Amino acid sequence: MTLLEVDGLCVNYGRIEAIRDVTFAVEEGAVVTLIGANGAGKTTTLKTLSGLRKVRAGAVRFQGKDITAMPAHLRVPLGISQSPEGRRIFPGMSVLENLDMGAFSRADRVKTRSADLERVFTLFPRLEERREQLAGTMSGGEQQMLAMGRALMSRPKLILLDEPSMGLAPKLIQQIFSIINDIREQGTTILLVEQNAMQALRIADRAYILETGEIVREGTGDDLVADDSVRAAYLGGDV
């Protein structure tokens, strides 16, 4: 079943077209990745899916329902959550308070709190150790884990991950990708935006390449990893 359909999406920043006629779909249970260079429109796409950017043309459907004009805060209870670029954790709140913010829109958040926290702490044991720490004082890797854990607290059907590996040490990147795999295995659909294209393609069921606001290639992750022109352009030349 198709969970998310994006159809001919156009988004502008003032007069500048940030993305143009972007069309793709995310199947339930899949990992789908958008890759591309800086400024290709990956983050704009995710922000638009979360309702943070106005759509100029095109449509977004979630579980068959048109949500193109739906305000951001109503999309979370519907089942879309995001771990944004730059983590955007609440620096003046503790780790626990940040995680509680993730469940802000859930009516049954009090009842399910301990189960939800346990799920997050199983994926990110580090967060449990730091539960009382002020989030702004944590390392970049820990903040990334917190941003992802926070996004899971709303029990999303679809989680949008924007550059989860940005600025992290190679060892941590491995860890984050292995956790992304765990999240998929728990049944959450993932739309992953990455500059770390090789890793993203390896984990993805389906991948789209964005170039200056347009989708220029698509295929399964394996297909694109094997493609020479993709390797040359996005995977650091001849590997």
The answer to whether 93 contacts another protein (rule: CB under 8 A) is yes
Whether the Cβ atoms of residue 105 and residue 73 lie closer than 8 Å to each other: yes
Task: For the beta carbon of residue 87, count every other beta carbon within 10 angstroms.
Answer: 23
**Closer residue to another protein (CB): 87 or 217:** 87
Using the rule CB under 8 A, is 96 a contact of another protein?
no
Residues between 113 and 172 with contacts to another protein, criterion CB under 8 A: 134, 136, 150-151, 154
To another protein, the closest distance from the beta carbon of 229 in angstroms equals 35
Q: Is 40 exposed, middle or buried (0-12, 13-18, 19+ CB in 10 A)?
A: buried
Nearer Cβ to another protein (81/199): 81
Strands 189-194 vs 214-219: parallel, antiparallel or unpaired:
unpaired
Tell me which residue of 96, 113, 106, 109 sits closest to 73, measured CA to CA: 106
* Complex with another protein: residue 78 or 198, whichever CB lies closer: 78
**Between 119 and 223, whose beta carbon lies closer to another protein?**
119
Q: Which of residues 18-57 bind another protein (CB under 8 A)?
A: 50-52
Give the number of C-alpha atoms closer than 13 A to the C-alpha of residue 191, restricted to the C-beta side: 29
Contacts with another protein, residue ranges (CB under 8 A): 50-52, 71-77, 81-82, 84, 88-94, 97, 100-102, 104-105, 134, 136, 150-151, 154
